[in-house]
Amino acid sequence: MVADYGNDWSLDPSAPITPQIYRILRERIVHNDLIPGNRISESEIARAYDVSRQPVREAFIKLAEEGLISIRPQRGTIVNKIVYAAVMDARFLREAIEADIVKLLTETPDPALITELRAQLAVQREIAHLDPLRFIQVDEQFHRTLAQGAGKGGAWKLVEGLKSQMDRVRFLSLGQFPTDKLIVQHTEIADAIENGDRAKAEKAIRSHLREVLQDLPEVVHSNPDFFDAPEDLGLPKTTIST
Using the Cα atoms of residue 122, residue 101, residue 107 and residue 191 in order, give the sign of their dihedral: positive
Same domain, 66 and 139: no
Confidence of residue 6 (pLDDT cuts 50, 70, 90): very low
Structure confidence by residue, pLDDT tens digits, 7-57: 468 888 889 999 999 999 999 999 999 999 999 999 999 999 899 999 999
User: What's the angle, vertex CA 88, arms to CA 78 and CA 170, rounded to 5?
Assistant: 65
Here the CATH number for the domain that contains residue 57 is 1.10.10.10
pLDDT at 236 over 70: no
Q: What is the pLDDT of residue 8?
A: 67
Confidence of residue 230 (pLDDT cuts 50, 70, 90): confident
> Which residue type occupies 149?
G
Confidence of residue 239 (pLDDT cuts 50, 70, 90): very low
Distance from C-alpha of 157 to C-alpha of 144, rounded to nearest angstrom: 9
CB atoms inside a 10 Å sphere around CB 60: 23
> Which residue type occupies 5?
Y
pLDDT at 212 over 90: no
Q: Which one is predicted more confidently, 51 or 235? A: 51
Q: What is the pLDDT of residue 238?
A: 44
Distance from C-alpha of 46 to C-alpha of 132, rounded to nearest angstrom: 32
CB under 8 Å to 183, separation ≥6 — which residues? Answer: 121, 124, 125, 128
Distance from C-alpha of 9 to C-alpha of 33, rounded to nearest angstrom: 11
Same domain, 53 and 111: no
CB under 8 Å to 185, separation ≥6 — which residues? Answer: 204, 207, 208, 211
* Parallel/antiparallel/unpaired status of strands 69-72 and 76-79: antiparallel
Average pLDDT over residues 116-128: 97
Distance from C-alpha of 40 to C-alpha of 154, rounded to nearest angstrom: 31
| Residue that finishes a domain, picked among 80, 100, 126 | 80
pTM for the model stands at 0.84
Same domain, 142 and 216: yes
How many domains, in total, are found in the chain?
2
Dihedral pair phi/psi, residue 75, rounded to 5°: -120, -10
Confidence of residue 234 (pLDDT cuts 50, 70, 90): low
| Residue that finishes a domain, picked among 21, 55, 80 | 80
Same domain, 75 and 92: no
Q: Which one is predicted more confidently, 176 or 213? A: 213
Residue 241, domain member (yes or no): no
Q: What is the pLDDT of residue 176?
A: 74
CB atoms inside a 10 Å sphere around CB 80: 22
48: exposed, middle or buried (C-beta count within 10 Å: 0-12, 13-18, 19+)?
Answer: middle
Here the CATH number for the domain that contains residue 221 is 1.20.120.530
Same domain, 129 and 219: yes
Same domain, 194 and 120: yes
Q: What is the pLDDT of residue 1?
A: 30
Dihedral pair phi/psi, residue 5, rounded to 5°: -90, 135
Q: What is the pLDDT of residue 34?
A: 94
Same domain, 25 and 59: yes
Residue 115, domain member (yes or no): yes
Question: According to the per-residue pLDDT averaged within each range, which of 153-157, 191-195, 222-226 is highest?
Answer: 191-195
pLDDT at 99 over 90: yes
Strand partners, 82: 227
Structure confidence by residue, pLDDT tens digits, 151-190: 999 999 988 888 898 999 989 887 777 899 999 999 999 9
Domain of 206, in residue numbers: 83-229
Distance from C-alpha of 154 to C-alpha of 24, rounded to nearest angstrom: 22
What dihedral do alpha carbons 227, 229, 233, 236 form, nearest 10°?
90
| Residue that finishes a domain, picked among 80, 115, 133 | 80
Residue 156, domain member (yes or no): yes
Residue 3, domain member (yes or no): no
Distance from C-alpha of 36 to C-alpha of 42, rounded to nearest angstrom: 17
